[in-house]
Structure 1
């Protein structure tokens, strides 16, 4: 502690020069940082929940309050993405049991009116099918005056939030948008739905797989999007070999990856034939030949081919 003499000297000096008097230290209030972090985290969670609520509210925009409908009055959408296997097996039976126990679907489906007392599913096909098979009325929101494009895009947005929908089902959903002339191509769908072109390329390849290849898997839902482009490549090289492999493994108890590997891991000689619309290319280790259908190719293109082949000949050695 400061002695009395030292304190007296300090006070005397301060009387001569007030600047010497030490000012009381002002301390910044200390805040418990962990409390700030917790509070910030809570705010972020509230914001996420609010955005999710807004998204769900947007899906129901313009819909009337829910009411129960006879499921026979509701038909599946022509853009429906569910494959028939989605309505079979233990998983769907358990789903039906949940709805039966609750006395109906607690979460309403959404429908659009297509007649005085006729409706089409916008989303909720599994709930609708379950109620139909159980003989229960289906709880639904009814949307008036909804265009095909609005239905397709709303169904697509709702699909993105569902974890049980497979890549194959999504791919077939997008393909229907093109097949039914809502969109010109996959690029247009990508732009409308905010998807990358590379992702849509995978969906396009997946939707374009032949039925024989799809049926080689226990379920189309087993086919991974990243496999689709490779499968398309080997099919383009030698369709016959891949179809033969697909038939050989169909119905066997193989994992999805084993089926995929059986389809793509062919020996090199089996991929030496390439089919074109005008002929077939054959290739061995030392030789390549092409059989051309002259009637398909036509005289002008045949002449162009001759000229091209002539251009490949090495120049004659001088002598």
Structure 2
């Protein structure tokens, strides 16, 4: 009888231990195993939403110091395997770069099979939660998805990621900013998304004047809004548009163009205009 009691007690203990083990296992359900990888075996993604300036300056140096003090990244990055012993970052580019520069192995979750689209969309959703990622970096990330033929246009990206078309229009305008305009700001993160459409408008009106202004303010101790205002506040006379019944006269400080609707001019008047322009050319020729 005692043996039966002892056996029953042992069985109950095994069942309790098994139940506890199952409970702990459930806490990690869906989690991917992590491994320490040599940083040299991991390459940045072709869809990376970090620009080179994200890996410079006091903020990144402080970030590196935190990782150095911890002996490596505590929060794992995610990578996909592209070949035996070779990986590509899905998310965690700053953590990877910090470990690479420090010579520390990288704690990483490994996805063995992942398409470009899956990688792009997971990177997008994960990084949107990060406060240190600028609107400009997100805009350039989305544009890479179009440039590399993952998506046909900005509207398709908006639909896939659940973004409004008006928000994606701002990102589109940010992604199209000339380098000189971006460099006028101390950091791309200083460029507010709400400024994007206005910047696009003034660049379309007179890109040469805006780029000239950008070069003039670069390096000056102006707040971001001060840089923005210097770029958009062009004198009114620098761009003039006059509408005629047959077309439009467009004039900036450096050039004038005429857009003519041929249907509104008779062949005789068109020929007279050609003759007049030819005469102007002859008058302006040297010698």
Give the 4+ runs in structure 1 shifted more than 3 A. 279-284, 289-292
Structure 1 residues 280 and 214, CA gap change in structure 2 (3 angstroms): farther
**Equivalent of 1:272 in 216, 228, 240:** 240
Per the alignment, residue 185 of structure 2 pairs with: 217
Of 152-161 and 265-274, more deviation after overlay is shown by 265-274
C-alpha contact (below 8 Å) 2:217/2:227 kept by paired residues: yes
Q: Deviations over 1:136-175 (max 9, x none)?
A: 0000010011000000000011012111100000000101
Change (3 A) 1:92 1:280: farther
Aligned to 2:194: 226
> Contact 2:239/2:250 (CA < 8 Å) preserved in 1?
no
2:49 maps to what in 1?
81
Q: How does 1:37-116 map to 2 (within 5 A)?
A: 64-116=32-84
Shift of 1:282: 3.3
Cα contact 2:47–2:120 (8 A) shared by 1: yes
Structure 2 counterparts to residues 129-168 of structure 1, below 5 A: 129-168=97-136
Hey, what's the Cα distance between the residues in 1 that align with 2:196 and 2:182?
A: 10
Q: Distance in 1 between matches of 2:233 and 2:136?
A: 22
Larger radius of gyration: 1
Cα distance in structure 1, aligned partners of 2:218 and 2:84: 46
| Partners of 2:168 and 2:121 in 1: CA distance | 15
Structure 2: give runs of 5+ residues left out of the alignment: 1-27, 270-287
Identify the match of residue 150 of structure 2 among 148, 170, 182.
Answer: 182
Provide TM-score, normalisation by structure 2. 0.76
**C-alpha displacement of 1:302:** 5.9
Q: Does 1:245 align with 2:213?
A: yes
Once the two structures are TM-superposed, the CA of residue 85 in structure 1 deviates from its matched residue by 1.0
Number of residue pairs the alignment of both structures matches: 233
- Indicate which of 79, 95, 113 corresponds to 1:127: 95
Q: Provide Cα deviations, 1:283-312, integer angstroms capped at 9, x if missing partner.
A: 59xxxx7446xxxxxxxx8633526xx9xx
Using the alignment, how far apart are the partners of 2:188 and 2:113 within structure 1?
Answer: 34
Unaligned runs of 5+ in 1: 1-56, 293-300, 311-319
Q: Secondary structure at the match of 2:72?
A: coil
Give secondary structure in 2 for the equivalent of 1:221: helix
Are 1:168 and 1:207, in contact at CA under 8 Å, matched by a contact in 2? yes
